[in-house]
Amino acid sequence: MSLLHLDKATIKFGGLIAVNEVSFEIKPGQLFGLIGPNGAGKTTCFNLITGVYKPTSGSIKFEGREISGTPSNKIAHLGIARTFQNIRLFGALSVLENVVVGGFLRHHTGLGSAIAYLPPAIKETDELKQEAMRLLEVVDLAHVANVRSRDLSYGMQRRLEIARAMATQPKLLLLDEPAAGMNPQEKMDLTGTVRRIRDEHDKTVLLIEHDMRFVMELCENIVVLDHGEEIAQGPPSEIRNDPKVIEAYLGEAV
């Protein structure tokens, strides 16, 4: 069974069709890439999957369950987490706190217990912090755990976004241009991190990326969007030679 299944998902903003009848399926454990030129509708696809927008038509199924129109926070509870293209960290909170927010959706103590500062809430807070520390180690941010997240460097902020999303313990992780603005070395490290997330933490990953080499190297299956339409789908070797894709990326070495 597929983990995520988009079936003719469409969204219109006024007269503009941002995503037009896009369909693809992601199987558990896959590393899936979503590529396309600027304005192709990739991020809009993410927004549809995570409930920021409701599709005008078509369906989005997660583990066989229709999720289009479900609010973002419920989707996070179902097991989809994301990062943002234009980083959206909780700037005034520390790196550790950012990750704890992600883990908080699995809390089981009540607000009353927290307000009264009772042992269950204290214990839970400690557990969440420890868990968050482990995740920070995965993305190599443990040494800055107590720094305010807005004071981090760009590359670190991107990694923190991944850690925060991971903290929700998602089945599907959506990464929106995780390598944007990184230098080649950082990108190399990121490739390793994403692989580790998939292999060691047993996640399915859907990522948007501009850097072809990065995507081709990392992903096992790729969907190509252009002007909101799906123009190709398949493993990197096929995509690389698809004439439509070459046309869409005219001039760019694929």
Partner 1 sequence: MDLGVSLWAAFELSTLPQQVVNGLLLGAIYALIALGYTMVYGVLRLINFAHGEVFMLGAYTALFASWFLGYGKGSSLETSGPLNLMILLIASMCVCGIVGVAIERFAYRPMRSQPRIAALITAIGVSLLIQYGGALVLPIAPPPSINEKVNPYRGVVTMNLVGGDPQLLEGYEKAKIEFETTEKAWTEARASKQPDDVVRALRDKKNDADRTMGDLQRRMDNSGVKIRIPQGQLIMFGTTIVLMIMLTYLVMFTAVGRAMRAVSHDFDSASLMGINVGKIVTITFLIGSMLAGAGAMMNATFLGTPLTTFFGVMPGVKAFVAAVLGGIGNIPGAVLGGFLMGIAETAVIWAGYGQYKDAIAFIVLIVVLLFRPGGLLGSAKVEKV
Partner 2 sequence: MKFFAVRAGSIALAVAACFALQSFAIGKGDLVFRLVFLAGLYVTLAVSLNLINGITGQFSIGHAAFYMVGAYGAGYTANNYAGSWGLKGPLLMLVLLLIGAVVAAVAGLVVGLPSLRLRGDYLAVVTLGFGEIIRIFVQNSPPLGGAYGLTVDAQFKFKYVWMVWLLAILCIAVCRNLLKTAHGLPFLAVREDEIASSAMGVNVTRVKVTAFVIGSAFAGAAGAMLANFDGFISPTSFPMELSFTILTMVVLGGTGSITGSALAGGVLFYIPEYLRDLKPVSGSSLVAAVIAVIAAVYVVKRIADHYHGDKGKRAALYLGTIIAGVVLQIILAAVFKNVPSLANANFEASKLRMVIFSSTLIILMLLRPQGVFAHHEFSWSWIQRLLGKKVPTTAVSV
Binding mask 72-91 for partner 1 (x = CB under 8 A): ------------x-x-x---
104 binds partner 1 (CB under 8 A): no
Q: Which residues bind partner 2 (CB under 8 A)?
A: 50, 52, 71-73, 76-77, 81-82, 84, 88-94, 96-97, 100-105, 107, 109, 111, 114-117, 119, 121-122, 124-125, 128-129, 133, 145-148, 164-165, 167-168
Is residue 109 exposed (0-12), middle (13-18) or buried (19+ Cβ within 10 Å)? middle
249 binds partner 1 (CB under 8 A): no
| Minimum CB distance to partner 2, residue 233 (Å) | 26
Q: How far apart are alpha carbons 135 and 191 in whole angstroms?
A: 17
Task: Give how far Cα 245 sits from Cα of 8, 18, 24, 208, 221, Å.
Answer: 20, 19, 17, 16, 14
**Cβ density class 137-149: b for 16+ within 10 Å, e for less:** ebbebbebbeebb
38 binds partner 1 (CB under 8 A): no
Q: How far apart are alpha carbons 4 and 49 in whole angstroms?
A: 9
| Minimum CB distance to partner 2, residue 73 (Å) | 5
With CB under 5 to 8 Å by kind, the binding choice for 184 among partner 2, partner 1, none is none
Q: How far apart are alpha carbons 36 and 56 in whole angstroms?
A: 22
Closest CA to 48 of 208, 171, 179, 201: 208
Residue that has been written with the tokens 């550790």 in this structure? 96
Q: How far apart are alpha carbons 31 and 26 in whole angstroms?
A: 9
| Minimum CB distance to partner 2, residue 244 (Å) | 32
180 binds partner 1 (CB under 8 A): no
Q: How far apart are alpha carbons 139 and 200 in whole angstroms?
A: 13
246 binds partner 1 (CB under 8 A): no
With CB under 5 to 8 Å by kind, the binding choice for 115 among partner 1, partner 2, none is partner 2
| Minimum CB distance to partner 2, residue 116 (Å) | 7
Question: Contacting partner 1 (CB under 8 A), which of 19, 24, 26, 47?
Answer: 47
Residues interacting with partner 1, by CB under 8 A? Answer: 43, 47, 52, 84, 86, 88
